[in-house]
Amino acid sequence: MFRLFRLFMESSIRLLYSRRDLLLASCDPLNRDLKQTGGVAVMTNGFRRMTKTQLVRHLAETVGTNNKTATAFLQALSEVAVREAKKSGVFVLPGLGRLKQSQRKARVGRNPSTGQPMKIPAKTVAKFYLSKAVKDSVARKK
């Protein structure tokens, strides 16, 4: 399991390097809706993103296993991340970032249709912070 996780992390970092240029080159300003085009989802800003099927296929090819095992690994990883974030408030994914539980305070907002002030209750939210290495590799300084 650890070997699979390590290979997943290494392939994710390599994927970030290779997909960054593809994402920047595939901007289509006419595609504003999220839709399937040629097996690749197009986000609202026009950039293409990798689908779950593509991620599973790439992970399976990189590790040398089948798609079912790669899907099970991704499912187990997401379950562990959610469980640990709930339990301890933070889940660190080495080399990628950390999932952190955060508290939002109660505040007064406005109803957009009537303009009336309304109370927005406090709530718990999840935030994902990228590691410095990922930030530097994805958003290189000019």
From the number of C-beta atoms within 10 Å of its C-beta (0-12, 13-18, 19+), residue 59 rates as buried
Is 40's pLDDT higher than 80?
no
Query: Can you give the pLDDT at residue 46?
Result: 62
Query: Can you give the pLDDT at residue 138?
Result: 86
Which amino acid is residue 7, in one-letter code?
L
Section 110-135 average pLDDT: 94
| Residue 21 binned pLDDT confidence (cut-offs 50, 70, 90) | very low
Section 43-48 average pLDDT: 62
Is 131's pLDDT higher than 80?
yes
**Contacts with 36 (C-beta within 8 Å, 6 or more apart), sequence order:** none
Domains of the chain, by residue range, sit at 2-138
Query: Can you give the pLDDT at residue 8?
Result: 63
**Contacts with 78 (C-beta within 8 Å, 6 or more apart), sequence order:** none
Is 56's pLDDT higher than 70?
yes
What CATH code is assigned to 2-138?
A: 4.10.520.10
Closest by CA to 21, choosing from 138, 134, 136, is 138
Section 17-23 average pLDDT: 48
Phi, psi of 79 (to 5 degrees): -65, -45
Query: Can you give the pLDDT at residue 16?
Result: 52
